[in-house]
Structure formats: structure tokens, C-alpha cells
Amino acid sequence: MAIQMRRGKYELLDPSKLMPGEWAIVLESDPNGTGGRSLYMCFSPGVVKRIATVEDMATIIANAEPEVSANIMKIATDTNAAITDAENKRVAAENSRVSAESARETKQASNNSAQASNNSAQSSNNSKQTANNSSQSSNNTAQAKNNADQAQNNAAAKGMTFSVLSSSQYAKTTDNTHNKPTITGKTGVMYLTPRISGATDDDKYDQWMYLNSAWELMGETGSHVDPVTTSDIDSITSGTSVTADRYLNATGLTYWWAKAKSALSSVFAAKSHTHTESQVTNLSTDLSNLSSRASSLESRATSLETNVTSLKKSIPVYYYSSAPTESTVKSEHTTPCLVVVKGGATYLVE
């Protein structure tokens, strides 16, 4: 099939009349072609494309250059303006940040100063509290000493009284060895009944005391036992050895504990943490040992109490119708005893 081509003026070009594969050559008047001349290819009726030559391309580029340049310049100008605006905003933001940081540092410095003041005040309060605690500890120790001294003074002031019973106030024991009181006694009173056997001018009576709602016959020999004094405790806690036959009563123990707490507080640190039972090595064994030691101490305490009671029971009492001289008492009594003067005082012979 021969190649078909049409030619003519641009005004006569009608793409709808072209056949597929047909060329149309514009010889003049084409506003899009160089010198008014151009070339078109038909792909289907009404669908054509203009074919550009090298010369056409050069012309197109030359014609487009001013517009492209203008667009490029506009883009560059807009870009520079955007960069400048962004930089200005960045500088403003940086200035704001610096200002905020300066304000924060100023605030932090103020807070630090306030915290330092608070710490100083707290330290001062802690020092005052420590001084108060120390003063209170000293006061507690002094009060415990006063209590112990007062208790001992009270005990010393409570002199034992005696009562000689009449025949209607006692009866013989079942073994006929003593005359036992039949009345209800009072605490702190020693009741005297005539001895059935072995009575002498200096020892006519049995001595009875009413203890725990029952009559207790006092013995014939023994020694006088005094409680430990606060002076003893002061000497012991200061490292001085004290030798004496005295017992530690509850009042003395209270004073000793006050002294011990004051001394131990500077030796042992305060508890800062705790451990569970499983974290303590050999806890069960240690607890068992402590329990055994506690039982042993309890037994020793019971034994000591029994000994003290026995000592109290074994102090004999001798009676005089008139006050004897000191030399007479010492010559007649070589063991500890109580000397009672009729209508007069009572003396302890040691």
C-alpha cells in the first residue's frame, strides 16, 4: 500500500479526515511550526501528533527559556524568602529558649537557695532535737535515781513493829513445839508468842509473820540483806568494782536500765533495716540457746528468792526490859539478830 500524504495550508488541516498512518505536511501558516511549516502523523481519524524537527526543538526551547527562567527565579526568590523567614523564626525560637533557660536557671538557683535554707533549718532542728533527747535521757536517768533513792528511803522508814499476843490469841501446834497465832495478822508486823521449850531471859518468844494469808515461823539465825543502792549502780556503771552482800530489787533494776540505755546508745547504732527469719543464719539454734539460758536464769532467780526468804526467816529476836549497853549486846550476841527493848527501840546486830 502506497504511503499517503496530504499537504497544504495550516487552515485546511482537518485531523478528522486523515487516515491512520497518513502524513499531513503543513506548508505555511502553522503558528506552532518554524517558519509556519510543520509535519503531523495520524494514528486514527481525529488523533494526530505533530512531529518536531531539531530546528523546531531549538525554537521551542528558545521560546520557553524566558518563562522557565522566570519560573526558576520565582522559585529561587520564594525559596530564599522561606529560608530567611525560617531562619528568623529559628533565631526567635532560640532567643525564647535562651530566655526560658535563663529563667529556669534563675528559678533553680532560687530553689537551691531555699532548699539550702531548709536543710540548714532542718540541721538546726536536728541538733536541737538531739540536745533535747540527751537532756531528756539525763532527766530520765536522774528521775530513775530519785525514784530508787526514794523507794529505799521509804523502805528504810518502814520500821518493823512487834505485837506480843495474849493467851487467847494463840494455840499450840499439832506437834506441841510452838504456840501458833490464831488471829488474822497484818503485813509488816512481827507477832510474838511464848516459847514452849528453850526459853531464856533473852529469848522468850517465837517470832511469827503473816505472809500470803498464812502464818510463817521466823528462824533463829541468819543475816540481814539490804538492796543494792543507786550509789552501787553508779559505781558499777562507771567501771568501779563493788563488793557487797546486797540484792537487786525492781527499783534498783529500773535505775540500772536507765543508766544502761544511756551508755549503750553511744555504742550501738540505731536499727536501719530488718531481716526475715530465713535470712538469719542459725536463728533457730540461737533462739533455742537463749531459751535455755532464760530457763537457767529463771531457776537461779527462784533459788535466790528462796535463799533470801530463808535468810529473812532465820533472824532471831531478843527482848530486853531495859536498853542494854553496846558492849553487853556485842558480848551476848555474836551472830546477826534483832534486839527489841520493851517500850523502846529495835536494833539490828550484825
Residue 235 placed within a domain: no
Residue 219 placed within a domain: yes
Residue 327 placed within a domain: yes
Model confidence at 158, pLDDT cuts 50, 70, 90, reads low
Say which residue, 60 or 130, is predicted with more confidence: 130
SS3 291: helix
As for how many domains the chain has, the answer is 2
Residue 337 placed within a domain: yes
| Same domain for 43 and 174 | no
Residue 214 in this model has a pLDDT that exceeds 80? yes
The angle subtended at Cα 205 by Cα 199 and Cα 208, nearest 5°, is 140
Of the chain, the percentage scoring pLDDT greater than 90 comes to 32
Say which residue, 347 or 241, is predicted with more confidence: 241
| Same domain for 169 and 45 | no
pTM passes above 0.75: no
Rounded CA separation 42/20 (Å): 5
Residue 56 placed within a domain: no
Q: What is the pLDDT of residues 77-110, one digit of tens each?
A: 999 999 999 999 999 999 999 999 999 999 999 9
Rounded CA separation 335/316 (Å): 9
For residue 185, count other CB atoms closer than 10 A to its CB: 19
| Same domain for 343 and 214 | yes
Rounded CA separation 313/187 (Å): 15
**20 and 43 in contact (C-beta within 8 Å)?**
yes
For residue 3 the three cell numbers come to 504511503
Least confident of 25-29, 176-180, 276-280, 337-341: 276-280
Least confident of 82-91, 131-140, 214-223, 328-337: 214-223
Residue 221 in this model has a pLDDT that exceeds 60? no
Q: What is the pLDDT of residues 29-40, one digit of tens each?
A: 998 888 889 999
| Same domain for 165 and 35 | no
- Domain of residue 24 covers 5-51
Q: What is the mean pLDDT of residues 183-205?
A: 86
What pLDDT score was predicted for residue 222? 33
| Same domain for 175 and 29 | no
